[in-house]
């Protein structure tokens, strides 16, 4: 593959060597990521948890830029789950502030890389200032076509499914009219294909209530790397692993 990541991959580097082996025709159209391990990364270094979230944000930026440049069209990042509201209020508030600050500081990256931003989840639970900034960023980036990033915020898959059922009932759709295509149109990710690849970092082997309906046939990749250390080299290695898998979808 032509090195379209030249802005942060050096010629002759290990990253470039891996990139050369990737067949762009075999790239996943949609990658979903459970970005896990920020807190443990900070604890290992005797830092506060928010420092881990800040370093994790750098990984998210690099993975997003790389995805846009090599031709992946959809990237869904699990940023904040519906269960994360149970964390200490101080940490939650700091994380909301960090999300807001990143939207302000990093808005140029969306324009530069032609990335569209979309948010999914129970957004009414987010602070008003953050909601307004997310809405503004969605509007200013809606025409960009290189990559769509879905930020899963205050997100839980079970609630997404329940909300979809409620909207179907509200639209008075008859039971015999409901099929997979119709149901998918009521999910947050209606305009995206289902994820071809789900990555979870930090060594945990669970799905944590993330895109449970959409990942029915996704390839799963569990990395032991903590999210702040998950950078372009490992991401490209995961994509290379993905393209070498045989996807049969139940067929022989």
36 is catalytic: yes
Q: Of these residues, 36, 102, 150, 194, which one is catalytic?
A: 36
84 is catalytic: yes
DSSP output for the chain: ---TTTTTS-TTSHHHHHHHH--GGGS-SEEEEE---HHHHHHHTT--HHHHHHHHHHHHHHHHHHHHHHT--EEEEEEEEGGGGGS-HHHHHHHHHHHHHHHHHTHHHHHHHTEEEEEES-GGGS-HHHHHHHHHHHHHHTT--SEEEEEEEEE-HHHHHHHHHHHHHHTT--GGG--HHHHHTTSTTTTSPPPSEEEE-TT----TTSSTTTTTT-EEEE--S-GGG--HHHHHHHHHHHHTS---TT--
Q: Of these residues, 20, 23, 48, 84, which one is catalytic?
A: 84
Catalytic (active-site) positions = 36, 84
């Amino acid at each position: 593959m032509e090195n379209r990541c030249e802005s942060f991959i050096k010629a002759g580097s290990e990253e470039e060597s891996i990139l050369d082996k990737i067949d762009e025709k075999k790239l996943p159209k949609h990658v979903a990521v459970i970005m896990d391990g920020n807190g443990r990364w900070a604890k290992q270094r005797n830092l506060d948890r928010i420092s881990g979230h800040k370093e994790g944000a750098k990984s998210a930026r690099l993975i997003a830029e790389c995805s846009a440049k090599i031709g992946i069209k959809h990237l869904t990042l699990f940023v904040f789950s519906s269960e994360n509201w149970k964390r200490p209020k101080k940490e939650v508030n700091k994380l909301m502030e960090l999300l807001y600050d990143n939207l302000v500081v990093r808005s140029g990256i969306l324009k530069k890389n032609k990335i569209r931003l979309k948010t999914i989840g129970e957004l009414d639970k987010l602070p008003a200032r953050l909601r307004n900034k997310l809405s503004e960023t969605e509007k200013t980036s809606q025409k960009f076509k290189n990559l769509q990033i879905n930020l899963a915020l205050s997100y839980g898959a079970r609630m997404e499914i329940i909300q979809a059922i409620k909207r179907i009932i509200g639209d008075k759709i008859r039971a015999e009219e409901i099929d997979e295509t119709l149901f998918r149109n009521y999910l947050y990710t209606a305009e995206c294909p289902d994820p071809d690849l789900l990555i979870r970092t930090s060594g945990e082997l669970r799905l944590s209530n993330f895109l449970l309906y959409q990942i029915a046939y996704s390839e799963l990749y569990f990395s032991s790397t903590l999210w702040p250390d998950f950078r372009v080299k490992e991401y490209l290695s995961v994509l290379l692993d993905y393209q070498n898998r045989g996807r049969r979808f139940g067929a022989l």
